[in-house]
């Protein structure tokens, strides 16, 4: 039995609204979630990555009406476009949660009953400004001029109706205790502080039903009311935990994978996940998720992205044009996860070309060619243990695995990538300085072997540790180094043993036959340059 074999990790992306085809914001969270899931699988952990769609509510109902479509038909079409995008982005999700899944209705009804039995649901009058885009009531003081939503820039609607309410106010103390006892529950720290302030100011009960809305679940026992979309959507993290043939009960769902280790979300939906959701679970006497991470927002060329500005970024077009590893790499390496970040095509091309084509790809290619010439196309035979302690590549390589692991664990993708890149850059510098081609001419073959081994090993280790981010490229690099290992494949129980060899310096087996040197990454051309 290898260590780590029994470790489990469950994580979720948000369940995306299906009012439109997926946008880059959804792709961003999903790429990050996939990288984390892959990093855990790489270590031999058992992983459950849940993504999915949030399909009910006024926003979706109105979209379908405007398109003249049955809402379910509309949802099915949009879901198909999410599935296609995830496939193109090489996202390895385990479960796709749809809130229109018939099993979800049963889970929601049972959960509602538990909260009802607790005495946390009552009827009251809801008056206020509602933004259908956000599916949320807004405070008057937060609105723009003429009662416009600050996020959607569209008019909010006045509502004055009988609703069912959830006693959120009862959970203020318990939530503050949770945040104090589990300082890592909300990350990053800046977002934790925001939430803390919000809760300290006092919590108001929130309405969990709507009238004049058909597209959703009726409130159990009162079908004049439809459940508020957020109240049921969050439970969409629980329904997919059911095994395919299991009876849809909470007891069956909340087995092996609950509580979820990590909810990855954007900062705009932090309050729902860090305040409403734990309070709802406390009310139902269920264990709480371990961590909620709210990442930043993407802008394009320094401007907020939006349909009204006409500057949205289509993730499908981006992958089609540049390939999935380039897209994954840019968003995870070039932006600080947790903070807002910008996309500009020029920077995208610069970063990807500098890192993947030049630093990593070229280094592999030129070193492989030398190994073909000087070492009969094999990994040079050296004794890694005998490398000088101050060998620059060995020094970096020995600590890379642990450092990268820590970076992934704290969702610092940019740092993980930078550590790998510095190894590749050091490899480039080393080979330039050492000039093995002239050492070979002097007949110092043992030294040539040592230089080429350490450079190839630097490329290997970088590629391996980058594989959660650029799995196809890493696999290609591995193949050229003569490995049969497909880094897109989860090796189950053998994973932990493989990880302990491959994440460490010296994992390159001597005398392994190398593949034929071929460029692994073609430089990207800007779109403008490509057209006549
Ligand atoms: N349906 C809810 C989530 C329910 S979870 C039980 C929802 N869906 S959404 O499709 O509108 O948003 C999904 C995610 O996309 C959110 O995490 C949001 O932060 C993210 N983004 C939307 N626009 C974004 C950017 N411009 N940049 C980065 N992420 C953004 O909310």
Ligand 1 centroid, distance to 23 Cα (angstroms):
9
- pLDDT for 530: 45
Name all residues whose Cβ lies below 6 A of ligand 1: 14-17, 25-26, 28-29, 54, 233-234, 236, 265-266, 268-269, 297-298, 305
- pLDDT for 307: 66
How many helical (H) and strand (E) elements, i.e. helices and strands, does the chain have?
A: 21, 16
What are residue 122's DSSP bridge partners?
Answer: 165
Task: Give nearest CA residue, ligand 1 atom 12.
Answer: 16
Please write the tens of the pLDDT for every residue from 97-127. Answer: 999 999 999 999 999 999 999 999 999 999 9
Give the H/E segment covering residue 427. Answer: helix 413-434
Please write the tens of the pLDDT for every residue from 384-432. Answer: 999 999 999 999 999 999 999 999 999 999 999 999 999 999 999 999 9
Ligand 1 centroid, distance to 330 Cα (angstroms):
19
Please write the tens of the pLDDT for every residue from 194-219. Answer: 999 999 999 999 999 999 899 999 99
Please write the tens of the pLDDT for every residue from 465-489. Answer: 999 999 999 999 999 999 999 999 9
- pLDDT for 526: 80
Fold of the domain spanning 345-527: Isoleucyl-tRNA Synthetase; Domain 1 (1.10.730)
Mean pLDDT over residues 153-178, rounded? 96
Residue 386's CB is within 10 A of a number of other CB atoms, namely 7
How far apart are alpha carbons 428 and 367 in whole angstroms? 9
Q: What is the percent of the chain where pLDDT is above 70?
A: 97
How far apart are alpha carbons 179 and 173 in whole angstroms? 10
Alpha-carbon Rg for the chain in angstroms: 26
Residue 291's CB is within 10 A of a number of other CB atoms, namely 17
Mean pLDDT over residues 229-256, rounded? 97
Please write the tens of the pLDDT for every residue from 275-307. Answer: 999 999 999 999 999 999 999 999 988 887 876
- pLDDT for 341: 94
- pLDDT for 172: 98
- Ligand 1 atom nearest residue 304's Cα: 26
Task: Give nearest CA residue, ligand 1 atom 18.
Answer: 266
- pLDDT for 4: 41
Task: Give nearest CA residue, ligand 1 atom 30.
Answer: 25
In eight-state DSSP terms, residue 274 is I
Give the least confident one: 28-42, 94-108, 278-292, 487-501: 487-501
Residue 376's CB is within 10 A of a number of other CB atoms, namely 11
- pLDDT for 3: 42
Tell me the best of 18, 23, 25, 300 to mutate to test the pocket of ligand 1, counting ligand atoms within 8 Å of each CB and taking the most. Answer: 25
**pLDDT of 310 higher than 80:** no
- pLDDT for 527: 67
Q: Name which of 17, 111, 6 is nearest 59 in CA terms.
A: 17
Ligand 1 centroid, distance to 13 Cα (angstroms):
9
Q: Tell me, letter by letter, the H, E, C secondary structure of 27-87.
A: HHHHHHHHHHHHHHHHCCCEEEEEEEEECCCHHHHHHHHHHCCCHHHHHHHHHHHHHHHHH
How far apart are alpha carbons 39 and 151 in whole angstroms? 34
Give the pLDDT band (50/70/90) at residue 153: confident
The domains of the chain are located at 345-527
How far apart are alpha carbons 488 and 54 in whole angstroms? 28
How far apart are alpha carbons 280 and 118 in whole angstroms? 11
- Cis before residue 259, ω within 30 degrees of 0? yes
Ligand 1 centroid, distance to 484 Cα (angstroms):
39
């Amino acid at each position: 039995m290898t260590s780590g074999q029994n470790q489990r990790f469950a994580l979720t992306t948000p369940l995306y609204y299906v009012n439109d085809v997926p946008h880059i914001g959804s792709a961003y969270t999903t790429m990050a979630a996939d990288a984390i899931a892959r990093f855990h699988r790489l270590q031999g952990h058992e992983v459950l990555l849940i993504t999915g769609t949030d399909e009910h509510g006024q926003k979706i109902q109105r979209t379908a009406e405007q398109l003249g479509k049955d809402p379910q038909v509309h949802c099915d079409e949009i879901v198909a476009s999410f599935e296609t995008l995830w496939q193109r982005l090489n996202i390895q999700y385990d479960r796709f949660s749809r809130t229109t899944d018939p099993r979800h209705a049963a889970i929601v009804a049972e959960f509602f009953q538990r909260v009802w039995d607790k005495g946390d649901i009552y009827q009251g009058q809801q008056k206020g400004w509602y933004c259908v885009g956000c599916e949320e009531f807004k405070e008057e003081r937060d609105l723009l001029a003429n009662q416009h939503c600050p996020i959607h820039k569209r008019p909010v609607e006045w509502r004055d109706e009988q609703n069912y309410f959830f006693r959120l106010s009862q959970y203020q103390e318990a939530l503050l205790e949770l945040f104090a006892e589990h300082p890592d529950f909300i990350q990053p720290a800046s977002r934790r502080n925001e939430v803390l302030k919000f809760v300290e100011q006092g919590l108001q009960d929130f309405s969990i039903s709507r009238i004049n809305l058909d597209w959703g679940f009726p409130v159990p026992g009162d079908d004049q009311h439809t459940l508020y979309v957020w109240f049921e959507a969050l439970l969409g993290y629980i329904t997919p935990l059911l095994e395919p043939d299991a009876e849809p009960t909470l007891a069956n769902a909340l087995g092996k994978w609950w509580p979820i280790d990590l909810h990855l979300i954007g900062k705009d939906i932090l309050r729902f996940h860090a305040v409403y959701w734990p309070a709802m679970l406390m009310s139902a006497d269920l264990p709480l998720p371990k961590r909620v991470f709210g990442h930043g927002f993407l802008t394009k060329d320094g401007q907020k992205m939006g349909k009204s500005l006409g500057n949205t970024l289509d993730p499908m077009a981006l992958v089609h044009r540049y390939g999935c590893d380039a897209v994954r790499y840019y968003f995870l390496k070039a932006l600080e996860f947790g903070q807002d970040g910008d996309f500009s095509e020029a920077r995208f091309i610069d970063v990807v070309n500098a890192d993947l084509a030049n630093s990593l790809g070229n280094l592999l290619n030129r070193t492989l060619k030398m190994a073909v010439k000087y070492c009969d196309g094999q990994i040079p035979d050296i004794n890694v243990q005998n490398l000088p302690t101050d060998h620059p590549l060995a020094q970096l390589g020995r600590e890379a695995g642990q450092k990268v692991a820590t970076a992934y664990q704290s969702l610092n993708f940019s740092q993980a990538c930078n550590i790998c890149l510095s190894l590749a850059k050091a490899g480039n510098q080393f080979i330039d300085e050492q000039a093995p081609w002239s050492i070979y001419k002097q007949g110092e073959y043992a030294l040539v072997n040592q230089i080429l081994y350490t450079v190839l090993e630097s490329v290997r280790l970088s590629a391996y540790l980058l594989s959660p981010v650029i799995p196809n490229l890493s696999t290609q690099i591995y193949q050229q180094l003569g490995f049969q290992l497909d880094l897109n494949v989860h090796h189950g129980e053998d994973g932990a043993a493989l990880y302990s060899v491959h994440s460490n310096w010296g994992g390159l087996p001597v005398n392994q036959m190398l593949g034929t040197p071929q460029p692994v990454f073609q430089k990207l051309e800007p779109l403008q340059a490509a057209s006549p």
